[in-house]
Amino acid sequence: MYSYRTNGTCSREIIFDVKDDILTDVKFVGGCSGNLQGISRLTVGKNIDEIISALSGIQCRGGTSCPDQLAKALTQYKVKYKKN
């Protein structure tokens, strides 16, 4: 499991797992439960590059959003942990 501390959103942290470039689990700490459950259900089982492409740049408040923060978390994961 990987953890990402969010910035500029109601959620405070995103905890997620990736296997073979597929998001296998994602949980948000804090934030709007219903919306974040929806984001989780729509993204689990998807390729992380597709998720990043679809969610990057979505804005809510402060120039970011929970979906945008998930895209940032997955981008950071790729830079730090992916060996290619």
Q: What are the tens digits of pLDDT across the range 49-74?
A: 999 999 999 999 889 999 999 999 99
Q: Decide if 68 contacts 55 (C-beta within 8 A).
A: yes
The tokens of 40 are what? 């989780």
pTM of the model: 0.94
Q: What are the tens digits of pLDDT across the range 3-21?
A: 999 999 999 999 999 999 9
Q: How far is CA 49 from CA 29, 38, 45, 52, 72, in A?
A: 23, 19, 12, 5, 11
Q: Decide if 72 contacts 4 (C-beta within 8 A).
A: yes
Element (H, E) at 52: helix 48-55
In order of their start, the domains of the chain are 2-81 (3.30.390)
- Amino acid making up residue 41: R
